[in-house]
Amino acid sequence: MTMEVEDPSSDDQTVESDMQRDSILNFLTLNEEICFKNQQKWEPDLTTKEKYDIALNVFRNSKLNFLLRFGKYLNQEHLTYFRRFTEHGEPDCAEIELVLGDLSKICSSNSNNKLVKNRRYEAMKQMIQDDLYFSEIEMMKRNPLLYEQLVGQYLTDDEIRERDKYKMDDQVTFVKILMEGIERDNAEAYRKLQAESEDNQMEEEDSDDDEDEEDRERKNTPSPIPSCSKWGEFDVKDEYHVPRSGPKRPQHCTAITAQERLLLREEFVSSMYQSFLDGKDDFDYRRIDNDSSLDNADELDHDAEDKYFESEEAEECDMQREDESSEDEFDMFMNHINQHPAVSELTRNMKNSNI
Q: Do residues 34 and 50 touch, judged by C-beta distance below 8 A?
A: no
302-332 pLDDT, tens digit each: 555 555 455 556 555 555 655 555 455 556 6
Burial class (CB in 10 A: 0-12, 13-18, 19+), 140: buried
Higher-pLDDT residue of 281 and 227 is 281
| Predicted local confidence at residue 347, as pLDDT | 57
Phi/psi of residue 160, nearest 5 degrees: -65, -45
Q: Is the pLDDT of residue 65 over 80?
A: yes
* pLDDT digit string, tens, across residues 121-161: 999 999 999 988 999 989 998 998 899 999 989 999 899 88
Tens digits of residue pLDDT in 208-235: 666 666 666 666 655 555 544 443 444 4
Averaged pLDDT for residues 284-310: 68
pLDDT at 183: 64
pLDDT mean over 87-95 = 83
Question: Does residue 308 or residue 245 have the better pLDDT?
Answer: 308
Q: What confidence tier does 181 reach under pLDDT thresholds 50, 70, 90?
A: low
CA atoms of 273 and 143, how far apart (whole Å): 12
8 Å CB contact between 96 and 85? yes
Q: Which long-range contacts (CB under 8 A, 24 or more apart) does 184-192 make?
A: 184/141, 186/141, 187/140, 187/141, 187/144, 188/144, 190/144, 190/145, 191/144, 191/145, 191/148
Cβ–Cβ < 8 Å for 29, 51? yes
The answer, yes or no, to whether residue 166 has pLDDT greater than 90, is no
pLDDT at residue 197, as a whole number: 74
Reply yes or no on whether the pLDDT at 236 is more than 50: no
pLDDT at position 211 is 67
> To the nearest whole number, what is the mean pLDDT of the chain?
75
Report the C-alpha gap between 335 and 318 in whole angstroms: 26
According to the model, what pLDDT value does residue 313 have?
A: 61
Question: 120 pLDDT band (50/70/90 cuts)?
Answer: very high
Give the model's confidence band at 14: pLDDT under 50 very low, under 70 low, under 90 confident, else very high: confident
Q: 90 falls in which pLDDT band (50, 70, 90)?
A: confident
For the residues 163-189, what does the mean pLDDT come to? Answer: 61
